[in-house]
Amino acid sequence: MSILCCHIPDFLIALHTRRWPAEGMRPLGLVGEDERLWAASSEAQGSGVLVGMTPRQAQMRCPDVLLRPLDSPEAEASQQGFLQTLARWELPVEPLGWGGAYLDLHTLATRKADVESLGREMGQNLRQRMSEALLSALGWDSGKFTAQAAARRTRPGRMKLVDKSDEKRFLAPLPISLLPLPLLSLQQLHWLGIRSLGDFATLPQNAVWQRFGEAGKLAWRWAQGQDDRPVCAGVVQPTAPVEIAFDLPERRLESVLAAFADAMRPVLAGLADRLQAIRRLGVEVHFLDGSSHSLDLRFVEGVNDEKRVTAALSQKLSALIWPDEMTGMEAHLLESSERPMGQLALLPDVLDEQPLPAIATRLAGRYGPVLLTGRLSEPGHFVPERRGNWQPLSPLAQP
């Protein structure tokens, strides 16, 4: 195969700062209609802000973060313009999130020299269509994962071409966070001292399978450069809808959400095993009076977390005026994608909005007093260093 990955870093942030340049000087987050962060600038990410957080969670991580609403129509229009530019070559194009896509070049270019020439032409066309503020980075290889890794490891306006014979050498020093594994799996690997793709690729296959399941085995193959997935012009393979019927008409939101979660659990598990996720889910809701309503659940990046999907449905149903009791639902997978590449976090529990002292207490038994808080002991002391000190945040770690 011959696969080119096109990646525009920080696509949504670049769109926003193109219109409001001054706001690009501060940590910036863009909030979507679902009251979640759809994008975070590199400065905000450096302070621990992650895509998918609520505004409150982002402000807990970075008090100085500037939160602005996402201009969804502009983002959609720019994304379509990006994909239309790539479609000019009449090659299979598979979207890869905001400002990203795969192209299948095997009918047009399979040699490095030919790909380099095509990449230059493609880069020029994208520059003219998307402007200088949205320069793309190109990566090429025989497999999707390595092509995407190459695009993400080169600067905008450049391209990185990886020959089949050079895949293992190129991948070996790259961080394991490039693997789209669940955050908990990445943290477990990090605790085991596995920091690079090369480290992960040398682990025994059976051990990886036993510890991380089908998804881990698939990621282990990708870390070795073994990726035979084709470029799919269609975003999702047609699947049967997930049907949910109630024995008795239901009016309680909690019961509806519990039934939805139970029905979607096998679907989400199957996607997770293939390192895929939901980008868009259509839900048809039926009521006792014979009426129906269509709900469109969109996610900023691929999601296969049961809580996130259920919370998105809860928000839609809470805003809907129910004409009668509910008799059933149908869920249709409208768009899927690869799982997003993760970002390691020291305290993932903060996402659950637990009190920080409670998190510190739980971690103190394993790591000791690693979380400290500043306290004023002698505010009026003439020596600044004596006015305050650091103390463990966890009560269990207090001397």
**294 DSSP β-pair partners:** 284
- Rg, the chain, Cα only: 24
In a domain, residue 237? The reply is no
Q: What is the CATH number of the domain that holds 270?
A: 3.30.1490.100
Q: Are residues 50 and 158 in the same domain?
A: yes
b vs e for 269-281, b when ≥16 Cβ sit within 10 Å of the residue's Cβ? eebbeebbbbbbb
Question: Splitting the chain (399 residues) into consecutive groups of 10 residues, what average pLDDT does each group show?
Answer: 88 90 88 87 84 87 90 88 84 85 82 80 82 83 89 87 86 88 84 88 88 89 88 64 90 92 90 85 92 88 84 90 92 84 48 56 62 74 76 59
- In degrees and rounded to multiples of 5, residue 232 shows phi and psi of -105, 115
DSSP 78-117: HHHHHHHHHGGG---EEE-STTEEEEE-TTT--SHHHHHH
**What is each CA distance from 340 to 21, 114, 154, in whole angstroms?**
27, 30, 18
Q: Are residues 42 and 161 in the same domain?
A: yes
Residue 77 CB contacts under 8 Å (≥ 6 apart), including other chains? none
Asked if 1 contacts 146 with a C-beta cutoff of 8 angstroms, the reply is no
Q: Are residues 318 and 378 in the same domain?
A: no
Cα(180)–Cα(186) distance, integer angstroms: 9
Q: Are residues 111 and 138 in the same domain?
A: yes
The total of structural domains in the chain comes to 4
* pLDDT value, residue 362: 60
Q: Are residues 78 and 198 in the same domain?
A: no
pTM of the full structure: 0.74
Q: What is the CATH number of the domain that holds 15?
A: 3.30.70.270
In a domain, residue 234? The reply is no
Q: Element (H or E) spanning 280, and its range?
A: strand 276-287
Asked if 209 contacts 185 with a C-beta cutoff of 8 angstroms, the reply is no
* pLDDT value, residue 231: 83
Q: Are residues 27 and 152 in the same domain?
A: yes
Q: Are residues 79 and 213 in the same domain?
A: no
**What is each CA distance from 392 to 271, 343, 351, 368, in whole angstroms?**
41, 26, 22, 9
* pLDDT value, residue 259: 92
In a domain, residue 343? The reply is no
In a domain, residue 120? The reply is yes
Could you list the residue range(s) of the whole structural domain that residue 209 is in? 175-223
Q: Are residues 153 and 13 in the same domain?
A: yes
In a domain, residue 11? The reply is yes
End-to-end CA, the chain: 62
Cα(51)–Cα(307) distance, integer angstroms: 16
In the numeric block, which tokens belong to residue 148? Answer: 């995407």
In a domain, residue 126? The reply is yes
Q: Are residues 113 and 160 in the same domain?
A: yes
Q: Are residues 192 and 156 in the same domain?
A: no
Domain end marker among 287, 313, 338: 338
Cα(160)–Cα(119) distance, integer angstroms: 10
In a domain, residue 359? The reply is yes
Residue 366 CB contacts under 8 Å (≥ 6 apart), including other chains? none
Q: Label residue 132 exposed, middle or buried (CB < 10 Å: 0-12, 13-18, 19+).
A: exposed
Q: Are residues 91 and 48 in the same domain?
A: yes
Q: What is the dihedral of CA 198, 200, 205, 206, to 10 degrees?
A: 160
Measure the CA angle with vertex 27, ends 24 and 28; round to 5°. 70
* pLDDT value, residue 66: 92
Q: Are residues 38 and 159 in the same domain?
A: yes
* pLDDT value, residue 344: 44
